[in-house]
Amino acid sequence: MSSIGKLMKQAQRMQRQMEEVQASLASRTVEGTSGGGAVKVTATCDGVLKAVKIDPAAVSPDDVSLLEDLILTAANQALAEAKEVNSAEMGKVTAGMGGLGGLM
């Protein structure tokens, strides 16, 4: 088989692996919390927020800005963790890209 053929085959295999990892990441969840667990945010590892849980004790009509900050902190924590997992998993697939001879 020619080197171009081998390269194409390797690129196709890598594309399939990336699609499989992306599908897996879309179903894998992480959680971010703030306020000692008063606010919990769940996100998938492809960066989609799925759920927000708020302890009723954290809800005070007199301090809405605190609750907003807690939600933001938990959401950002969940998304940061999702990004970290995503990068690690995609890195496993792209680690073999060195064999593509500078095409990628």
Query: What pTM value is reported for the model?
Result: 0.74
Statement: residue 97 has pLDDT above 70: no
Model confidence at 104: pLDDT above 90: no
For every residue of the chain, DSSP letters joined together read --HHHHHHHHHHHHHHHHHHHHHHHHH-EEEEEETTTTEEEEEETTS-EEEEEE-GGG--TT-HHHHHHHHHHHHHHHHHHHHHHHHHHHHHHHGGGGGGTT--
Domain ranges of the chain: 3-96
CATH homologous superfamily of 3-96 equals Nucleoid-associated protein YbaB-like domain (3.30.1310.10)
Q: Per-residue pLDDT for 99 more than 60?
A: no
* Residue range 78-98: mean pLDDT, rounded: 87
pLDDT tens-digit readout, 1-19: 688 888 888 889 888 999 9
Across the chain, mean pLDDT equals 88
Band of pLDDT at residue 29, cut at 50, 70 and 90: very high
pLDDT confidence band for 92 (50 / 70 / 90): confident
